Amino acid sequence: MVRGHPATLLLLSLLALLAGAANTPRRPLRAMAAGCPGIRLNELLPQPQRVDWNGDGTLNGDDSYVELYNGADTPCDLSGWQLDDQANAGSAPYTFPAGTVLGAYHLRVLFRGTTHITFEPYGDSVRLVQPDLRLVDQYSYFSSSPDTSFSVSVDGRTWVRSYPPSPGRPNLPATSTPNPSPAPDPSPQPSPTGTRSATRTPAPRADPTVTVTPTPTFSPTPCPAYIGYLPMIQALIPADPAGG
């Protein structure tokens, strides 16, 4: 048992309580707003750096944002409501203009360019206040990282900083995208060479035999009827003078 001055014990108890609170996720403080039972803070990105969250083409502090969500089935009239950081400190509160209505189950993103609220990177608060200054919801953080948001979890029970920023979209845990396993290159398959049909060599055709009709050779056949006159005919033929 620790003994000491009552004031010392009280101080130690307060320090222990604060230390425990610093390590415990802050749950949303939500009061039942008159006419807006489902209104709440939904996301906060206090420290933009490398992402143009508002899409205006410029990377600057105006990319910081606060997101509201109306989880009721009736619209919420936010006319005269205020969005603020720390009470009585920091930036001036932003007052919603007349006619600002957040539809049932709708999200509303408010960038710093609209609210002019600067959230400190090393700890700050965001508060939603009714026109009668009744605190409806608030969230406090003790440090932040560039382009990292604080979001209400899917079940609506606590704030987390592990969800990826999602302005204007539902808060969801990060989904791990598995790296695709490198697909082995398919073994090179020989391109199917078109099988050429075997050229049919025509069967040798015999040239037609040309039948040559032989020219008949006429051997002079002595006619038997004139054989006896042959000596007489030879005698009548004069002898060749050159032959003598």
Is 169 inside a domain boundary?
A: no
- How high is the pLDDT of residue 8? 54
Which phi and psi (to 5°) does residue 84 adopt?
-145, 165
pLDDT in tens, 34-88: 679 999 999 999 999 999 999 999 999 999 999 999 999 999 999 999 999 999 8
pLDDT category at 239 given cuts 50, 70, 90 is low
pLDDT in tens, 102-154: 999 999 999 999 999 999 999 999 999 999 999 999 999 999 999 999 999 99
- How high is the pLDDT of residue 17? 46
Burial class (CB in 10 A: 0-12, 13-18, 19+), 111: buried
Structural domain including 130 reads 20-160
CA 141, CA 147: separation in Å to the nearest integer? 15
- Give me the CATH number covering residue 32: 2.60.40.1260
pLDDT in tens, 168-205: 999 999 987 655 555 555 544 554 444 444 444 444 44
The total domain count for the chain is 1
Is 24 inside a domain boundary?
A: yes
